[in-house]
Amino acid sequence: MDAASMHSSTDDAISAFTAPARGDLCHCFCPGSRVLRRGGEPCDVEDVRRGDELESLSVRGAVVREVRQLPRREHDIMAITYAAVHQPSSSGTHLSVTASHAVAACRPSTRSFDRYRAGDIEEGDLLRTWLAPAKALHVQPVTMTTHVIEIELEDTFASFFAAGSQPANQPAPNNERGDTSLDAFVEVYGALAPVAEPSRGCIKLLRWRRYDKFREAFLESPDLAACRAALESCGFTSDLSESRNVWEERLGFGKMFCRPDQARAVLHEVGRWRHYYNRPLLNSDIIVSLEYELLVKALVRQFAPRPQKEPEEIVLSIADAQDDLAELFPRASAP
């Protein structure tokens, strides 16, 4: 089914809620959200279990690998209101996801849909619902205190469809969970899904002045558990304290959070940076790909016993390393 080419019968606008900045948690839904099981049956996100098959446009389908409930805390929620392109309106259903959550979207300057962080969706972007494309009309922040649910799929490139709950400070228009008809469901992705990169092959080295509770935030908290497990399953680790570069120099005490297909190139480039500048990574240094940047910054704010200034950001390019290593290590490359 080509959802982008189908027509919609909905008269209601639909709102998607995303969490940037302070409360950003990776690829998560707020309670009350719903997803479509295979066959088009709506299901509460809290009732999704390992092994469930979700409705998907992906050839290989969307089978749930893991479901995680992350801790209750305050989140900044970004409301993105959207409506069918041929029937704009001002009310409707809501999807609650975090800023790092990958959503299928199409920029006005492009002709195809790609994976974008929900926090990067802009007014005028097209989103893909189950029945028709819709246009993002309005963006508004909302603050909520809640736990969130993360769904990881067997195929990280697979998509599925979700509709959401009404924020606590706004009344639901139709029922307590809002409208969950098929034309209210928007195409999203699960945990670990890669997103479109503004600049190909760029990562960031974030350098804070202090490292208060960094071990608890990055190596022990459940928020990055999926990323840590994915790296470990491919022979990598988030803790770089034992890693060395090709010159047999220790990289230092930094941490790394990126996709597994990027990890080898990231280590190669960080090793070069460490050698040429003779600067080993400090405990306060965190290397991130685009998918994890907002989450890492949010965790620093949440765990720090006292406020920290924004980190120094050093942009490192791994594009050349990815191309070179792809020839030597084909499995390191994303499908």
User: 198-229 in b/e burial notation, b at 16+ Cβ within 10 A?
Assistant: eeebebbbbbbeebebbeebbeebebbbbbbe
Pairwise CA distance, residues 67 & 74, whole Å:
21
Determine the 3-state secondary structure of 265 from DSSP: helix
Residues of the chain with pLDDT under 70: 1-26, 74-77, 87-93, 139, 165-180, 197-200, 321-335
Q: Express each pLDDT in 143-198 by its tens digit.
A: 778 888 999 999 989 999 998 755 434 444 443 444 557 778 889 999 888 887 66
Q: Express each pLDDT in 107-150 by its tens digit.
A: 888 888 999 888 888 888 998 988 888 888 776 777 778 888 99
Residue 47: what pLDDT?
96
51: left (phi over 0), alpha (psi -120 to 50) or beta: left
Give the sign of the dihedral formed by CA 127, CA 130, CA 132, CA 137: negative
Please check whether residue 82 is in contact with residue 135, taking contact to mean a CB–CB distance below 8 angstroms.
Answer: yes
Pairwise CA distance, residues 186 & 15, whole Å:
10
Residue 136: what pLDDT?
82
Residue 335: what pLDDT?
40
> Domains in the chain and their CATH numbers?
28-168+178-189 (2.170.16.10), 202-328 (no CATH)
Q: Where do the H-state alpha helices sit in the chain?
A: 214-215, 225-233, 260-277, 290-303, 319-328
Both tokens assigned to 79: 């409301």
Residue 98: what pLDDT?
80
Residue 76: what pLDDT?
65
pTM of the model: 0.72
